[in-house]
Amino acid sequence: MKENVLISGGAGFIGKQLTNLLIEKGFSVSILSRSDKQNTYDISYYKWDVPTRFIEEESVLKADYIIHLAGENIAEKPWTAKRKEEIVQSREESVQLIYEVLKKNHKKLDAFISASGVGIYGALNGEEICTENMAPENDFLGSTCQKWETAADTIADLGIRVLKIRTGLVLGKDDGFLNKLIPIFKFRLGAALGSGKQYMPWIHVDDLCAIYLEAIKNKNMTGVYNAAIFDNTTNTVFSKTLAKVYGYSIWLPNVPAFLIKMALGEMAQIILTGRRVSSEKIEKTGFQFRFVNLEQALRDCLGK
């Protein structure tokens, strides 16, 4: 009988790619969805609604593993006080709902694997290398990720192996943040943002999905892992490389930071700040990234 993986947020960019990989590797997949969807041979859909505390419990009870990707998109809307609350609550309360089902039914999983973000290290712009042992920052990004991970840790109290995957900027085909840049760079209007010196820890979506698969298979993996390439990619380097893939050199000046702040408010820190992130811990498990060269990764995503 196939092992079953339940994915929250399975209809999103990463969730779709991960679902395909898991099916290819012989797993059956269940997906928690807020809307009715038709089951397929390999995928079962279950309803849940976090604000009303509703979940079809069978989804959890049949699962061998849960991969928790659900959460409001942190960069989708301006960070009003209400939006910030929605971002945090979507991460905390969704885990709480799953926790309650597990506890009530004395259900044991082989692993609970939660997404997190490298934003936990805060809005930095220095040369410091961020490792999994660093303390979280208290800015909005840092505190949000910290609360996300703290919620996941409650699952460990049930005697379940818990992993938290701190993800960088995910590069993929036809979706993700790269999709928003394509129209600008395709028409040769690309430029670095702010100082351009801010680091951009990135990862190809195929490598990210492979890390989740490794977290399932490697029973010795537990705790926190960074999921980003450790290199010297700054916003300037990223912008120049993306322009190169499109066959030109950047000719426009950097977009001034004050314009970005005017447009995005506090959310501008996502763009104007960055951090260098170590990948040593995940690589010590024996995991090997397929895409370690930015240009190669971009060409793969863009079919260039």
> Model confidence over 218-270: pLDDT tens digits?
999 999 999 999 998 999 999 999 999 999 999 999 999 999 888 888 888 88
How high is the pLDDT of residue 137? 84
CA angle 202/115/302 to nearest 5° reads 35
For residue 238, is it within any domain?
Answer: no
What is the Cα–Cα distance from 69 to 46, expressed in whole angstroms?
15
For residue 249, is it within any domain?
Answer: no
Answer left, alpha or beta for residue 171, where phi above 0 means left and psi between -120 and 50 means alpha.
beta
Instruction: Quickly state the pLDDT bin for 34 (edges 50, 70, 90).
Output: confident
For residue 141, is it within any domain?
Answer: yes
Read off φ and ψ for residue 217, nearest 5 degrees: -75, -35
Q: Which domain, by its residues, includes 33?
A: 4-172+200-229
For residue 97, is it within any domain?
Answer: yes
For residue 300, is it within any domain?
Answer: no
Query: How many domains are contained in the chain?
Result: 1
State both tokens at 292. 């370690």
For residue 275, is it within any domain?
Answer: no
Q: pTM here?
A: 0.95
For residue 69, is it within any domain?
Answer: yes
Instruction: Kindly report the CATH number assigned to the domain that includes residue 160.
Output: 3.40.50.720
Q: Are 242 and 268 in contact (CB under 8 A)?
A: no
For residue 291, is it within any domain?
Answer: no
* Bridge-based pairing state of the strands 111-117 and 223-227: unpaired
State both tokens at 93. 């309360």
Query: Mean pLDDT, the chain, as a whole number?
Result: 93
Instruction: Quickly state the pLDDT bin for 281 (edges 50, 70, 90).
Output: very high
